[in-house]
Structure 1
Amino acid sequence: MRSRGRIAVIGVGNEFRRDDGVGWAVLARLRERSEDRPLPPDIDLAICDGEPGRLIGLWEGAHLAVVVDAAHTHPGTPGRVHRLELDAGLLAQPATTSSHGLGLGEAVELARVLGLLPERLIVYAVEGAASELGTGLSPAVADAVEPLVRSVEDEIARNADVSARGRT
Structure 2
Amino acid sequence: MDGIALVALTEEEFNRRAPQAGSTLYAQLEIWKAARHETWRPAPWSEQEQTSPKPAPPGLPSADDMSDDEDSESVSASAAGAGSGVSAGGKAKSGSTHIHLWQFLKELLASPQVHGSAIRWLDRSNGVFKIEDSVRVARLWGKRKNRPAMNYDKLSRSIRQYYKKGIMKKTERSQRLVYQFCHPYCL
Task: Name the TM-score, length of structure 1 as normaliser.
Answer: 0.27
The higher-RCO structure (CA 8 Å, 6+ apart) is 1
Structure with max Cα Rg = 2
Normalized per residue, the structure richer in strand is: 1
Task: Name the TM-score, length of structure 2 as normaliser.
Answer: 0.25
